[in-house]
Structure formats: C-alpha cells, structure tokens
Amino acid sequence: MTHVLRVAIVDPKDSSRESLKSMLLGIDTIWLDADCSRYEFFQDVVQQTHPDIAIIALDAKPEKALELVARINEVCPECSIFVVSGSTDGNLILRAMRAGAKEFLTQPLKTNDIADALSRMEERRAGKGKTRSRGTATICVAGATGGVGSTSIAVNLACALAKNPDRTVGLVDLDLCLGDADVFLDTIPDYTIVDVAQNVTRLDFTLLKRSLTKHASGVYLLPRPVSMQDVSLITPEDLQRVIGLLKATFSHLVIDLSKGYTQNDMVAMSMATSILLVTQMDLPCLRNVVRLLATLGPMEGVGEKIRIVLNRTGLGDTQISLKKAQDTIGREIYWQLPNDYRTMVEVRNNGVPLVDQSPKAAVTQAIVGLAETLGGEQEQEDAAKQADPTKSSIGKILGFWSKGKSSK
C-alpha cells in the first residue's frame, strides 16, 4: 500500500538534525516517520515504526553510533541504514560499512546526495526481487470559475479510481470554506482536515485511516473544516505534511482545490502529478483559463502538469468551436465530459457516485475513461523511470506566489 519511503533519523546535535529534517521534508518520495535526539532510544523507535531507512548521524559520539548501526542491522535487517558524518576518514567509513551501513553520506549534506543514495538503494532492492517503491498518482482538480463542476469531477473521479481493487484512494476537500465533498458522498465525518493537520506529527498510517471517513465506494475522505474560523489553523507547512502522509498511505490521491488559488492550493499543486483545470465552453470560463495559465504556467513544478478538461460539452448552442477554444487558450483539450444535467443532479442529491447510480451513462463512462487514463500514465511513468526525489518546488512556488501577490 505504501509507495513512499518511510525514514527515521537520529542525531543528538539539534542544528544538524533540524537541517536534515528540513531537507527530508522537501522530498516528496520520503515520509519522515520519526526523529530522535538520543542514540540509546533509537533502536526502540526503529522497532516500533519499522521504517524503510534509518539515518544515523555519527559525529556526536562515533563509537556509540557505530554500535547502534550494528544493533539495528541485527534486529531490523530489512531496514536500510544510512550514516551521516562530517568526516571523510577511510577507517570510519570502513567501520560503518562493516557494522551494516548501506550508505555513507558526508556533511554538509545536499539533496542530490540523498537522491543518489535512494536510487542505489532501490537498485539493490530490485536486484533482490523486491518491488520498487512507486509514486502516488496525486491529482488536483481546479475550476476556472465557480460552478463548472470541479467538485463533481473530483468526487466521481476518486470513486471511479477506487473501483479497481488494486488501488487505495484518498480524497481531500481543500475548499476549506465552502467545500461539499461530504455532501456528494452523503457522509457525516467525525474528523476533518484540521484534526489531521494539528496532529500530523503524531499520526501513523493506521491512525490516519481511522481519522478519515471511508465511503462505501472504498474512497477515504478528508473533508473541509466544520467551522470557517478553523480555516486559518491550516498552514501551508501543515498541509505539506498532511499530503506527504496521505501520499505515503494511498496509491491514488484526488484533491479538490478551492477557487481562491491560495497558498494551500499552491502547495497541493506543487505536490501533484496531474492538475486538471476544469472549464466550460463559454467566454468567461475561457478568459479565466487564459489568466490562470499565464500565472501558473511559468511556475516550475506546476505549469507542465496542467491539463484542460472541458465539462458539459453539448450544453446549449455555442458560437465557440472546440478549435477556437484551443486556439484561445493555447493548449489542447485533454478530456471532454458530456453534459448530463439530470443525472448529475440526481447523484448529487442522492449522495451516490456516478459509477453506482448510473454506471452506463455517457458522463460516467467519460469519467471512468479519465480515471483509467490518468492511472495508466502514472504506471507508465513508474515503469519508465524512477521519479527524481529532488524535484520539490514548494518553496519556489510559494515565493513566486507571494511575490505576485505583493506586486498587485
């Protein structure tokens, strides 16, 4: 189920430990499971959390650290041990490797160093016949304006993905003020995104799933806050941690964005593999698409992921042709969904997804096709090459966005 590498670290030095934590939190393919400041406690931490990788800093007390490496290698042979040190002494490197370390990383540590070490570890695992960790398909659904059907598409896309028993699917309602994904699924959640964000450092995969609302379709829903006053409690940093934990738990993650394109929305898009920008064939929507592409297009880690989804095709007579729309926005239409107002109103009012209420409807088949296409693209990408874990651009995106806000 888990497609992100779980990591535990130990370093008695606060400054270097915090620096390492910050670096790891910026890598999308890593979930920081635990951090520890005492060598004597770390073995228990590893045995309780069962991480894929244990990172041990040697410099505080090298002899004690090397003893710890040997113990963890003995009691947790499935855990890959990386050691970190500012020393390049050959004898220290040799002793660390003999104790069971798989990688020796030299400080000051760079993100590329971790990326290369992860790549070598995956190659060793593949050589032993173990499955390589693969990326989670994270799909953000955004609207060119309100009322274009982005929430309907997000909810029904998640339910269509969940029809495949080999997939585990999470759905996040990031419209923190007016989101209604819970209404579409006719659920009354016990916990919301605020509860998870405020406790994310204490949650593990089991507790996370207990905090989500499981729908009969198999989709796990993380809804918006109950009170609007709670919206400010969710910071971009909190959301990054929440999405990281969700990506480590589910094979597919669908995020319904707000229409405000806030910093939280920017974080979600930076961590996505695909961004579906939903529009209709009318002038106000197409104008907004052009504006959004002008803003989001230059953002590294965002612009190249955007795909235009044309919703409610065939809705009334329009003087705007498909070719004219594509020429206007300067991009191909990635997917089209037919207009079926009666069916969509019925499923929304009944709180039943399309794949259950109207499996043979044209709009249902179109969404199922979209789900299979997006899932297939992710699988092809995983098979072709392993994702580069250094391509985390959250800081750049937030900086770009803040600069744009302040210049207005």
pLDDT given for residue 314 in this prediction: 82
If one counts every other C-beta atom within 10 angstroms of the C-beta of residue 256, the result is: 28
As a whole number, mean pLDDT of residues 195-206 equals 79
As a whole number, mean pLDDT of residues 207-224 equals 92
Helix axes 39-49, 62-75, angle to 10 degrees: 20
Q: What are phi and psi of 54, to 5 degrees?
A: -115, 125
User: How do the domains of the chain map onto residue ranges?
Assistant: 5-127, 137-385+392-407
Contact 289, 333 (CB under 8 A): no
- Cα 306-234-262 angle, rounded to 5 deg: 35
Locus of tokens 């019925």: 346
CA 149 to chain centre: 22
As a whole number, mean pLDDT of residues 195-213 equals 81
If one counts every other C-beta atom within 10 angstroms of the C-beta of residue 49, the result is: 15
pLDDT given for residue 228 in this prediction: 93
pLDDT at 189 over 60: yes
Highest mean pLDDT range out of 42-51, 125-134, 388-397?
Answer: 42-51
Ranking 338-342, 353-357, 372-376 by mean pLDDT, the lowest is 372-376
pLDDT given for residue 389 in this prediction: 43
pLDDT digits (tens, 9 = 90+) for 252-306: 999 999 999 999 999 999 999 999 999 998 899 999 999 999 999 999 889 999 9
pLDDT at 377 over 70: no
> Which CATH fold topology does 5-127 show?
Rossmann fold (3.40.50)
pLDDT digits (tens, 9 = 90+) for 39-83: 999 999 999 888 899 999 999 999 999 999 999 999 999 999 999
pLDDT given for residue 404 in this prediction: 57
pLDDT at 171 over 80: yes
Among left, alpha and beta (phi > 0; psi -120 to 50; other), residue 362 is: alpha
Report d(CA 199, CA 212) in Å as an integer.
Answer: 13
pLDDT digits (tens, 9 = 90+) for 136-145: 899 999 999 9
**Could you say which DSSP state residue 308 is in?**
E
pLDDT given for residue 391 in this prediction: 46
pLDDT at 244 over 60: yes
pLDDT given for residue 118 in this prediction: 84
pLDDT digits (tens, 9 = 90+) for 75-124: 999 999 999 999 989 999 999 999 999 999 999 888 888 888 888 887 77
pLDDT given for residue 325 in this prediction: 87
- Work out the burial of residue 333: count CB atoms within 10 Å of its CB; fewer than 13 is exposed, 13-18 middle, 19 or more buried: middle
pLDDT given for residue 173 in this prediction: 97
pLDDT given for residue 399 in this prediction: 57
> Which CATH fold topology does 137-385+392-407 show?
Rossmann fold (3.40.50)
Q: What is the mean pLDDT of the chain?
A: 87
Say whether 137-385+392-407 and 5-127 share the same fold.
yes
